[in-house]
Amino acid sequence: MTASGKISIIPFDSKYAKDFAALNIEWLEKYFVVEPHDTDLLEQCEETIINKGGLIFFAKVNNDIAGTFSLIKTEEGIYELGKMAVSPKFQGQKIGQQLMQFCIQFSKDQGWKKILLYSNRILENAIYIYSKYGFVEVPLEDTPPYQRSNIKMELVL
């Protein structure tokens, strides 16, 4: 199945909350473990992300949710890009890159200062994409929000 020209990026709707959780649990369980902080964000995304000034977007291909990401407000004008995932059946179609382009343009349109993210170096494809779009490595806090994090990156807008 190809996604040529049929991808739309849509904002959060509570009917997609289960897709948000499922897409992320899939990759977390593949590479790591689902941490308590993940569970809070994924299972209660409206309370922990949306209601605190954050946003969630989805890549939709025809009627399927193919990918997702969130922008979690950390302080005024600074957001954490988190919970970015693309369904395995849609990987290799540059959906992650389309989500990234949308994320950066959306953030610039909001007049935000920067986007930051936490990742792990074993996710080489993700790190490559972040770097390609201008994210640079910055020092990681002593106690990052995720135990699996061993790299922090940011993009000054």
**pLDDT band (50, 70, 90) for residue 21:** very high
Out of 5-9, 29-33, 105-109, 149-153, pick the least confident. Answer: 5-9
**What pLDDT sits at residue 3?**
42
9-23: average pLDDT: 96
**What pLDDT sits at residue 35?**
95
Q: What is the pLDDT of residues 32-89, one digit of tens each?
A: 999 999 999 999 999 999 999 999 999 999 999 999 999 999 999 999 999 999 999 9
**What pLDDT sits at residue 2?**
44
- Please give the Cα distance from 51 to 28 (Å, whole number): 24
Nearest in space to 32 (alpha carbons), one of 130, 117, 147, 140: 147
Could you please report the per-residue DSSP string of 63-113?
TEEEEEEEEEEEETTEEEEEEEEE-GGGTTSSHHHHHHHHHHHHHHHTT-S
**pLDDT band (50, 70, 90) for residue 146:** very high
**pLDDT band (50, 70, 90) for residue 1:** very low
109-122: average pLDDT: 97
Query: Who's near 73: CB < 8 A, 6+ residues apart?
Result: 52, 53, 54, 79, 80
- All structural domains of the chain, each given as residue ranges with its CATH number in brackets, are 7-156 (3.40.630.30)
**What pLDDT sits at residue 125?**
87
- Please give the Cα distance from 21 to 107 (Å, whole number): 23
**Whole-structure pTM value:** 0.93
Nearest in space to 53 (alpha carbons), one of 110, 123, 5: 110
**pLDDT band (50, 70, 90) for residue 26:** very high
Calculate the average pLDDT of the chain: 94
